[in-house]
Amino acid sequence: MSKPLTHLSADELLFRDAIRDFAQAEIAPLVRKMDDAQKLEPALLKQLFAMGLMGIQIPEAHGGAGASFFDAVLAVEEISAVDPAVGVLVDVQNTLVVASMMRYGTAAQQAQYLPRLAAELTGSFALSEAASGSDAFALQCRASLQPAGSYKLNGQKLWITNAAEAGLFLVFATLDPALGYKGITCFLVERDTPGFHVGKKEDKLGIRASSTCAINFEDCEVPASAILGEPGKGYKIAIETLNEGRIGIGAQLLGLAAGAWRHAARYARERQQFGKPIADFQAMQFQLARMAMEVEAARLLVYNAARLRDTGGADYQKEAAMAKLYASEVAERTASLAVEVLGGSGFVKDYPVEKLYRDAKIGKIYEGTSFMQLATIAKLTIPSA
């Protein structure tokens, strides 16, 4: 008999509880400071590496934890319940950068980068541009083949997560715009490569400690050995990686919603009005109950997609889209209701729900807007004529 989706094995429970304790002890005291400064604490980043959270799926032979994708989802969920800005940093590292390197990297590339990604090297996934958001492959960033066999990159990327901290960038550029998606190629670009520099850091509504920057290329020359996968196959890397990346974003938003609900429920038990806790009033009970139900439904979708991905052979594109879409909606609703439960206290920065409310909005936008998720779900569920 199969186990329920949300049943955690003994090892998964130990892992989840260790991350939950770490998040409360080490991340929670820094949340307000990092949000105000719009910057991740460097010491915290070192702790994330020391805890093994930046290389969860990297094999032990390369210095990683050798754990599952589901374990990465658990980590992102628990961290995001405390600070979604830290959660997305861990998510991008594991579900986009490390996942791409493990699936498409050559033996030499994996030997060069996986141990560093597990120990000290932050990665970034550079796809978006000014003219290519939902139309992800309308890229203008060019990669020009040189006589000696190297490539020169020219152009700009926008909205790049982890850009301020990253030492390695997975950069998607086109060999020829006339080729459309067939010209897209993925390059491994290190931060100190001549002709590459990190540009403006965005001043954001939410997840402010997570860096989001422009990156620029001006005759940035990389060797042919820096190609991840094959020339012209970058679109395949992007599509397959983002499919599982959406599960990670679903986990981030699930964690956000769970964190907001916990704050609301705790406050409702402590806050006294008319001589008793507001949690004793039926209207408040019903509101908290509905929030709990939606959080659990989001968890079922996210865990189902994550476990499907770990089977190795199952197609999980539809499930990933559903998980990301629904978790983003639940995160926004739950955070908003949490602010209302706390009343005036929820509207000030002294309480965490104000920040969670701001953090939630990005969930409907990045790694595929809600409309793109709906289009994917429709394509995969509605029978053709």
pLDDT score, position 19? 98
Check if the beta carbon of residue 223 is closer than 8 Å to that of residue 112. no
What distance lies between CA 183 and its chain's CA centroid?
26
pLDDT score, position 115? 98
Rounded mean pLDDT, 89-103: 98
- Which of the residues 78, 165, 354, 367 is marked catalytic? 367
Exposure string for 265-301, b = 16+ CB within 10 A, e = fewer: bebbeebeeeeeebbeeeebeebbeebbebbeebbbb
What is the pLDDT confidence band of residue 183, given thresholds at 50, 70 and 90? very high
Based on the residue annotation, tell me whether 367 is a catalytic residue of this protein. Answer: yes
Question: What is the full DSSP assignment across 11-36?
Answer: HHHHHHHHHHHHIIIIIGGGHHHHHH
Q: What are phi and psi of 109, to 5 degrees?
A: -65, -40
Which domains does the chain carry? 10-122 (1.10.540.10), 124-232 (2.40.110.10), 235-381 (1.20.140.10)
Q: Which of 262, 252, 268 is nearest to 359 (CA)?
A: 252
Rounded mean pLDDT, 201-226: 98
Over residues 347-375, the pLDDT tens digits come to 999 999 999 999 999 999 999 999 999 99
C-alpha pair distances (Å), 173 with each of 12, 168, 179, 192, 244? 39, 15, 12, 19, 21
C-alpha pair distances (Å), 98 with each of 167, 223, 349, 366? 13, 21, 35, 19
User: 275: helix, coil or strand?
Assistant: coil
pTM of the model: 0.96
Check if the beta carbon of residue 326 is closer than 8 Å to that of residue 254. no
Question: What tokens appear for 87 in the block?
Answer: 């959660």
What is the pLDDT confidence band of residue 314, given thresholds at 50, 70 and 90? confident
What distance lies between CA 5 and its chain's CA centroid?
21
Question: What tokens appear for 81 in the block?
Answer: 């319940």
